[in-house]
Amino acid sequence: MLTKRIIPCLDIRDGKTVKGVNFVNIREAGDPVELGAAYAEQGADELVFLDITATIEGRNAFAELVKEIAAELNIPFTVGGGISSEKDVSLLLEAGADKISINSAAVIEPGLIDRIAKNFGSQCVVLAIDTRFDRNLWQVYVHGGRTPTERYAPEWAKEAVERGAGEILLTSMNHDGTKNGFALDITKELSRSLPIPVIASGGAGTEEHFYDVFTKGEADAALAASIFHFGEIPIPDLKKYLHEKHITVRL
């Protein structure tokens, strides 16, 4: 059985780690370089850093931060936020990122996935999907969850795989920050239908939620933010719990 991954996510605004609920009500959570190093020490399998207020002017500043992060980490990490061109990808990979996450730009211009996969390899392309369950459908949103699109998560994920995405980062906006558990149904649907790993995101609040998303949701990895940032669930305790429940994790 493949090892299930635990991935803390650090949303970064103006160089600081922040966290919100349902994509709003943002509060600060600490220095991203220090937090990232601490998570690596605690046994996180990977990290995700998202520049949530990415702008053209801020891209170079974020690349400098990525260099600082890379110098401190000994585990893989993904960076995202406002990436819209091969130039952005090149800059961030050269700064030390292992993978890049694309979202809005890929929905607007799907060919971006093809070009990044062709130029840099599918293994570094993580397609982030922000989706909200409404009227019995999982609708895809862009621009930090502010703008609904005419796409739906299952079909969009399938197209992204065909274009060369190597992983799907699936965030349920209904569950994000609520600590009521992951969106198990859509996670299971994508995990079963896609030939690439699915990372579940949005809703982690207890150790049991991780167990559920790995078993009922069949996710390959689970991502969370506030429960790690504010010390509610220490990563070593979570992994011990999962190991005792016969989930294969790296201890």
Which residues neighbour 23 within 8 Å (Cβ) at sequence distance 6 or greater?
Answer: 130, 144, 145, 146, 173, 176, 177
- Annotated catalytic residue 45: no
Identify each DSSP E strand in 70-181 by its residue range: 77-80, 99-102, 125-134, 137-142, 147-152, 167-172
Which residues neighbour 136 within 8 Å (Cβ) at sequence distance 6 or greater?
Answer: none
* Amino acid in position 127: L
Conformation bin of residue 51: beta by default, left when phi > 0, alpha when psi is -120 to 50: beta
Is 165 in contact with 111 (CB distance < 8 Å)? no
DSSP H/E element including 48: strand 47-51
Structure tokens at 224: 């969370």
Task: Tell me which of 130, 176, 212, 220 is the catalytic residue.
Answer: 130
DSSP H/E element including 248: none
Which residue shows structure tokens 């930090």?
A: 144
Strand partners, 134: 137
Q: What are phi and psi of 7, to 5 degrees?
A: -130, 105
Measured in Å, how far apart are the chain's first and last C-alpha atoms?
Answer: 15
- Annotated catalytic residue 130: yes
Catalytic residues: 11, 130
